[in-house]
Structure 1
Amino acid sequence: MTLMRFLLCLFAFVGALAAAGTLVVSIMLMLRFPPLLIAVLLACWILNRLLKVLSASIQNKPTKNTAT
């Protein structure tokens, strides 16, 4: 059981290191190539607008009550 816990912690640590490394490399690439930074910012803006539209449409949709 101790070995399994150790392997789980090891894989979690390696995954966190890989994620941090990927984040650093992507930020360096965005700073090196400004069109990539513009594309990422535009994608984040579009996702934000889409989430706002979807949440507004979900809130405005009336729910069906089958009990009445």
Structure 2
Amino acid sequence: MNATEQVLIEKLKQLPPQRLAEVEDFVDFLRTREDEQRLTQAAAKVAEESFAAVWNNDEDAAYDRM
């Protein structure tokens, strides 16, 4: 465990139980947001490959150079 984690744990130990529940909710929120961002990035990567044939064409080449 690193120093930052130890400091955080000590701070958590000083909180009343109702505040610990709030902290847990917030941590769950952060984890969910991270998961959603990873999913969005993965979906964009897959979509990029799927749309490559549509996006990469001679008609649109002029727009690529802008």
Name the TM-score, length of structure 1 as normaliser. 0.51
Distance 1:28 1:10 in 2: 27
Alignment-derived partner of residue 20 in structure 1: 38
- Among all aligned residue pairs of Structure 1 and Structure 2, give the percentage whose two residues are the same amino acid: 8
- The answer to whether the aligner puts 1:9 opposite 2:27 as a matched pair is yes
Q: How many residues matched?
A: 39
Gaps of 5+ in 1: 37-41, 47-68
Q: Which runs of 4+ in 1 moved over 6 A?
A: none
Q: Which has the larger radius of gyration?
A: 2
What is the RMSD computed on CA atoms of the aligned residues? 2.3
RCO greater where, 1 or 2, for CA within 8 Å and sep 6 or more?
Answer: 2
Alignment-derived partner of residue 59 in structure 1: none
Name the TM-score, length of structure 2 as normaliser. 0.53
